[in-house]
Chain A
Amino acid sequence: DIQMTQSPSSLSASVGDRVTITCQASQDISNYLNWYQQKPGKAPKLLIYDASNLETGVPSRFSGSGSGTDFTFTISSLQPEDIATYYCQQYDNLLTFGQGTKVEIK
């Protein structure tokens, strides 16, 4: 099974800050990686697919990059509505989620 390791597990940042989350795969997964946002009590929402493609309707302050084993998710300017938990997910071999990163406002 492919393991996905996200870091950090939580972070606190100020409105307007640049926020970066990393996701490392246990083996090469090319660009077969998606990113999701989940707000409390809600279903997850797709933000980024194929490592770097922004889902339709998602604000451009969200972005993703990387390939192989190392991936990065960035919020260029943190907004209050971005408070959520973010998950990476690989689809190179079945599907696996990272453990999540909880983003809070400082």
Chain B
Amino acid sequence: QVQLVQSGAEVKKPGASVKVSCKASGYTFTSYGISWVRQAPGQGLEWMGWISAYNGNTNYAQKLQGRVTMTTDTSTSTAYMELRSLRSDDTAVYYCARSGDGVVIGGAPMDVWGQGTTVTVSS
């Protein structure tokens, strides 16, 4: 079955970096993109960015530009999201979602989601 499986929970200190993985299975990885979405405790959904698994092109939310990097490893059908210079307000559940048609960010909706990875930033 089509699924995305994310890495486990992380606890980080302010100023550190975190890298979350998202392993895809059950579909042709390079035919879609991956969006990353986060949700702070008790808050709504925030889109962080998108990467094409076809050609590696990225689009990032303006507020995270310079702190976030999204990559893929097509040999293992895995997407990665790295967030640097962590702050307490980065504490959230981070989701990956299959998104876009591989070339165009809006080419397909977010129809398959990972289970979420809790990232806690605390001194």
Contact = CB atoms under 8 A, between A and B. Distances in A.
State yes or no: do A and B come from one complex: yes
B106 interface: yes
Interface stretch (B10-18, B44-52, B80-88): B44-52
A46 B110 contact: yes
B54 to A, nearest CB: 17
A91 B109 contact: yes
Given A1-B62, A43-B95, A44-B95, A97 B46 contact: yes
A94 B61 contact: yes
A34 B109 contact: yes
A56 to B, nearest CB: 9
A38 interface: yes
Nearest to A93: B106
A101 B16 CA distance: 34
> Main SS of the interface on chain A?
loop
B59 A44 contact: no
Contacts of A34: 109-110
Contact of A91 (B37, B105, B115): B105
Contacts, number: 60
B114 interface: yes
Interface string B15-44: 000000000000000000001010000001
Nearest to B96: A43
B44 A44 contact: no
A36 B110 contact: yes
A100 B45 CA distance: 8
Given A94-B59, A95-B35, A49 B109 contact: yes
Interface of B: 35, 37, 44-47, 50, 59, 61-62, 95, 97, 99, 105-106, 109-111, 113-116
Interface of A: 1, 32, 34, 36, 38, 43-46, 49-50, 55, 85, 87, 89, 91-92, 94-100
The 4 A-B pairs with the shortest beta carbon distances in the complex, nearest first, are A91-B106, A43-B113, A49-B109, A95-B47
